[in-house]
A and B are shown apart, each in its own frame.
Chain A
Amino acid sequence: MEKMPGWADAVLVPLISLLLAAILSAGVILAIGENPVTAFKLMVDGALMRSAGWGYTLYYTTNFIFTGLAVAVAFHARLFNIGGEGQAMLGGLGVALACLYIPWPHWSLALIGASLGGAVFGALWALVPAWLQAKRGSHIVITTIMFNYIAYSVLGYLLVNVLRPVGSMDPATPKFPETTHLPSFRDMFSTADTILFRGAPANVSFFLALIACVFVWLLIWRTRLGYEIRAFGHSETGANYAGISGVKITVIAMLISGALAGLMAVNTTQGEAERLILNSTEGAGFIGIAVALMGRNHPLGVFIAALLFGFLYQGGAELALWTTIPRELIVVIQALVILFTGALDNMVRMPLEKLFLALRRKEAS
């Protein structure tokens, strides 16, 4: 018995959640004496009305696509991967090592090499919690959270003691060599007389993210592995009946998840900073959870949700630039959206389901 049509579940619920978050945010902005309409206009202008704004929005979007997909893939196996942050950090290490120590002749090869590095490092970082979950039953939520801290410390140690150039104060690697620098949107889309995406960090890895979306869609819905991942996720006992090894699925799903999170580093580390810094992930691993939740763990949904969060991030930056809304309140607004679209999902869904039931009954009678 379907409670409400699929389109309502996929579109209406997030839309209403978003609206609620917007109303509450407007209240917050009003309360500190700013005009919410102006603020919203600023966000839209800054994030969507200028090519440079798009360049930032899509840069953040790229991050969120990768981490969102990472959470989504794991979630199809009912594994709650909270460790996207740590996996992305380690992915950054993989990217940095690939860029720094292998002399790439051209950025395209460097992109492949760095992607491989990021994916492998991210996957390996997810492997330990996955193995502990599969073999020892250690809860993956706990272990992946812990591994975020370990990742941060490992990265800190390596950056400070091993990778940092002599005399530098930043805990960061040296700049990557010129041949590894990825073409930014500006390089790709500007013509001789129009410069587009000036200064914006969006780069070719956005397309890598799109490819990842297609890849995940194929994996989950069209392959045997995806079938087994979903079967295991829906019912462990069912998987056991069908001869699907829970250990194998847990480990493989987490490896793929970790690899996707690790790929995020291609965007931040190789694409934007062009060196590895300590705080390159900036919470994108956690945003990925909200993105996956809002995107219903479907690659298309993840893409749309990532775009929304990209807009929120870039719009938030614009707010910080042009208004006196303090940084903390901008975070509050972003958190409200996460809260409503993610955690409070059922708050919107249940009344909506009731509404649809009532409507249907009316039709029937």
Chain B
Amino acid sequence: MTLMQKFLGAAAALALSAGAAVAEPALIFDLGGKFDKSFNEAAFQGAKRWADETGGSFREIELQSEAQREQALRRFAEAGSNPIIMTGFAFGNVLGEVAPDYPDTKFAIIDMVVDQPNVRSVVFNENEGSYLVGMLAAMASKTGTVGFIGGMDIPLIRKFACGYVEGVKAVNPDATVIQNMTGTTPAAWNDPVKGSELTKAQISQGADVVYAAAGGTGVGVLQTAADEGILSVGVDSNQNYMHPGKVLTSMMKRVDNAVYDAMKAGTDIETGINVMGVGNGGIDYAIDEHNESLITPEMKAKVDEAKAKIASGELTVHDYMSDNTCPVE
């Protein structure tokens, strides 16, 4: 049986992985799918950039079921893929069990910390980016009321919300921030209709800038904001292009950079926790031709000043997940 296994394994490796000698990286997308206009898609963009630049190739799989998480990890590891990159906190449990079985393979997980010697855990300081777009929102607001629409109510999204509120208050201590979460289940990531309804509700309460940290739900938020003539703030990728002149800015979480870096480092990838923040370009706010007119030089100057302070450590934005509380409301 073992002989058979080896034989077949070898045959499979020969037949399937063209350059088995050179370790190929692999990328595993979460259940949301490769083209989710957000998180997974950003990861794919990073991988593509790496492939275009280096001419390398990588394996990828979109998961269909929960049971496939472990399967995909093991099969890629056994086939010699290295490093293996996965997107999403949901891999945390499984990776913790699988990683020790393949000590020679390097893994990278995004948005989760897995404490294993051969794992790189990439986490983002979304609170810092949210702080910056919060400042912009407060400066752009005429009513003094801004909105926040989260996806699923989990600590990660509260971390977004907390940073955002801090940023708003830093500009205008009297400003009001209306906060809503779309739901409590993963369905909340993909409910643009509800996103639209929440936006309308916030507008009726006086909000004139809304920040959507809600995955696919955000599409509805941005659309409604544009339709109703108020400003919105995109998330994860640069979403300014979706409604030019109507999207104030986007809080960019450079998942693409994280994937690109991991693939570029290849088997020499540094393990341990890799924090991506404003300081190392992992987090930023977006300015391009679509929103230039919305952001005055004064606004830009003020935000860039805060950005520099955060990078230097002079200014600390509270991380909700560090203590599950937020100092500002």
Q: Convert A294-313 into 0s and 1s, putting 1 for each residue whose CB lies closer than 8 angstroms to a CB of B.
A: 00000000000000000001
Bound form: Cα–Cα A317–B321 in Å: 35
Bound form: Cα–Cα A59–B66 in Å: 12
Q: How many residues of B contact A (CB 8 A)?
A: 41
B70 A199 Cβ-Cβ under 8 A: yes
Contacts of B59 in A (CB 8 A): 321-322
Contacts of A201 in B (CB 8 A): 67, 70
Contacts of A161 in B (CB 8 A): 184
Contacts of B12 in A (CB 8 A): 45
Q: Choose from B66, B68, B153 the contact partner of A279 (Cβ within 8 Å).
A: B66
194-220 of chain B: CB within 8 A of chain A: none
Known: A50-B8, A170-B89, A171-B185. Contact between A277 and B98, CB under 8 A? no
Q: Is A357 an interface residue (CB 8 A)?
A: no
Closest CB-CB distance, B298 to chain A, in whole Å? Answer: 38
In the complex, the number of residue pairs spanning A and B with C-beta atoms less than 8 Å apart equals: 93
Q: Is A282 an interface residue (CB 8 A)?
A: yes
Bound form: Cα–Cα A156–B182 in Å: 14
Q: Is A194 an interface residue (CB 8 A)?
A: yes
B68 A317 Cβ-Cβ under 8 A: yes
A321 B64 Cβ-Cβ under 8 A: no
Closest CB-CB distance, B47 to chain A, in whole Å? Answer: 14
A160 B33 Cβ-Cβ under 8 A: no
A199 B155 Cβ-Cβ under 8 A: no
Report the nearest A residue to B59, measured CB to CB. Answer: A321
The secondary-structure label for the interface of chain B is helix
Closest CB-CB distance, B219 to chain A, in whole Å? Answer: 20
Closest CB-CB distance, A24 to chain B, in whole Å? Answer: 20
Report the nearest B residue to A282, measured CB to CB. Answer: B65
Interface residues of A toward B: which range? Answer: 35 or more
Q: Choose from B16, B33, B93, B185 the contact partner of A278 (Cβ within 8 Å).
A: B185
Contacts of B76 in A (CB 8 A): 321
Q: Is A364 an interface residue (CB 8 A)?
A: no
Q: Convert B60-91 into 0s and 1s, putting 1 for each residue whose CB lies closer than 8 angstroms to a CB of A.
A: 01101111101110111000000000000110
B74 A198 Cβ-Cβ under 8 A: yes
B66 A273 Cβ-Cβ under 8 A: yes
Q: Among B5, B16, B67, which residue has the most Cβ atoms of chain A within 10 A?
A: B67
A45 B8 Cβ-Cβ under 8 A: yes
Apart from A171-B184, A201-B67, A272-B67: 20 A-B pairs, beta carbons within 8 A: A42-B16, A49-B4, A52-B74, A60-B67, A156-B187, A167-B324, A169-B154, A170-B90, A194-B1, A198-B74, A198-B101, A200-B71, A201-B70, A278-B185, A279-B186, A282-B65, A282-B66, A321-B61, A322-B59, A326-B62
- The contact sample of 9 A-B pairs, CB cut-off 8 A, is A49-B4, A51-B5, A156-B184, A169-B89, A169-B154, A317-B64, A320-B61, A322-B59, A327-B62
